[in-house]
Structure formats: C-alpha cells, structure tokens
Amino acid sequence: MKIIRRPHVYLVGRQTVNQPEIDNFLADHNVTGWTTDTNVAAEVLPEVAGRLCYMSFKKPRPGGNSAYLGHIKEVGHGSVLEHGVFNFIITGVSRSFTHELVRHRAGFGYSQLSQRYVDESVADFVEPDCIGDDPELHEVWKSAAQHAQEAYVKLVEGLQAKFQNVEDKTLRRKMARQAARSILPNATETKIFVTANARSLRHFVELRCNEHAEVEIREVAAMMLEILQKEAPNVFGDYEFLTLPDKTKAAETKHRKV
C-alpha cells in the first residue's frame, strides 16, 4: 500500500490564438492597427471579447492588456474572462478532495478515474499531514486503510463468484468493483481531468485558497494559482499569497467574484 502525502497538478492544455482570423474580423470592421501586448491566449481572447462588446479597438486606453483586464476586474465585467480556458490533470488527491472539487459547477468540466472500471486493489491512499506527522495516529490510519483495501479485494473475489452467471467478463468485473468500492475510504487516491475557464478558476481560488477551506483542496488551489499566475499574470496576478499560522498557503485579492 503506497501512502501519498502531496498532490500533483499538471497543466496539460492551454489555448492558442488564431491571429489571422482576428485580423480578418478587424479588417472586416475597418479596424486597422489594433494589437495587444501579450501573446497569452487566455489574456488576448478576453480582451478581444471585451473590446467587441463596445467595438473599442480603434482608440485603446494606454496600459495594454494588463490595464484592460485590470479594469475588467475592477468593474466586475468578469464574463469576458470565461473565454480563457485551461486544462489540468490532478493526481495524488483523495476522493474527499474530488468530492469538494466537483461542487464547482459553473464553467468547470471533469473526467475522473472510474472506481467501477479500475481495479482498486492496488490503489494508493492520501494521508493528511496532521495524521502522517503523528506516529500513533499514522498507525491507526494506516491499519484502517490496509483493512479496507483487504476487504475490497475479498469483496471483489466474492462478488465475481456470485456473478459467475454473467457471461461478459468485463461486465462481471464492473458489477463486482462497483459494489466492492463502497468499502473504500475517502482517502483512496484518485485522478481527475479538469477543464475550467478563468472566471470560474478565480471563484474557485477565492473559495478554496482561503483560510476557511479544507487543507488538501487549499493546497491544490494554491498549486493551480501558482501555475495560473505564471501562465496568465494579467488575469491572475492580482492574488497575493499569504502564509497562515499553520504554515500553509492562502491567497487573497481585492477583486472578489468578478
């Protein structure tokens, strides 16, 4: 049984700008000479979307994309940030983490490891630091996780025997695993593919990279924010990290829920 103590966040997808088509659109509307000063698609596209609302390409205010998106956040015209989209894979997280994550509905898409199809007899388990750092509590936790996994293996075996009249082997396995998984703890490691737009990601960060959020989701939210600040500083650069009394990270901004 492998015990995991840290999550992993992979940024696996980002957008690209189709500049020739933006140029065609501008030319079709007699706009010449408009450019922006960023190459980041998740910054360019919200600016184009915002400028389209008022057809304000001809006389842009000074300050470039940073000032433009700063103003968008200031006035709360956050819907244009929905045009910036990112794809993540998150691994080394618990089922309790993903249960909290998938509550974020607006602007999020998910694909998660299936416990109906995938064999969890070799699953890893995610241990909270406050338990892992305490030798006595760690033993209690480890032994409970081990027992649950052993029970899972026995249940899968028993259920496969019970469903032996089901001819389709894959279906038989699925029927066994979907029932046996009920014994697995929240600590069971899972993997999830997450696609989200910048506006939703900001809302997620505000709720989950916050001192009131649970520790694991806060850690992931902080990791995602660190990536996003590098990827699209004009969209996410207004967040400031702070260290909480327990030495974990949180973040705050003056532009809440744009």
Q: Which of the residues are catalytic? A: 208
Asked if 252 touches ligand FAD (CB under 6 A), the answer is no
- The four Cα atoms 242, 244, 249, 253 give a dihedral, to 10 degrees, of -40
Using alpha carbons, select from 247, 246, 249 the residue that is nearest to residue 229. Answer: 249
**What span, in angstroms and rounded, lies between the C-alpha atoms of 137 and 130?**
9
> Residue 221 in 3-state DSSP?
helix
SS3 190: strand
Residue 213 binds to ligand FAD (criterion: CB under 6 A): yes
Return d(Cα 184, Cα 150) in angstroms, integer: 10
Segment lying near ligand FAD (by CB under 6 A), choices 77-85, 103-111, 124-132, 175-183 = 103-111
* Region of 16-24, 39-47, 104-112, 150-158 interacting with ligand FAD (CB under 6 A): 104-112
Query: Which one among 5, 29, 71, 103 touches ligand FAD, defined by CB under 6 A?
Result: 103
Q: Binding to ligand FAD by residue 256, rule CB under 6 A?
A: no
Closer residue to ligand FAD in complex, CB, 145/198: 198
Which residue bears the tokens 């979907």? Answer: 178
Q: 44, 65 in Cβ contact below 8 A?
A: yes
User: If binding means CB under 6 A, how many residues of this protein chain bind ligand FAD?
Assistant: 10
In angstroms, the CA 203 to CA 146 distance is: 37
Instruction: Name the segment binding ligand FAD (CB under 6 A); options: 18-26, 44-52, 206-214, 225-233.
Output: 206-214
In the complex with ligand FAD, which residue's Cβ is closer, 197 or 234? Answer: 197
Based on the shown chain and the rule CB under 6 A, indicate whether residue 104 belongs to the binding site for ligand FAD: yes
The residue ranges that bind ligand FAD (CB under 6 A) are 103-106, 200, 203, 207-208, 212-213
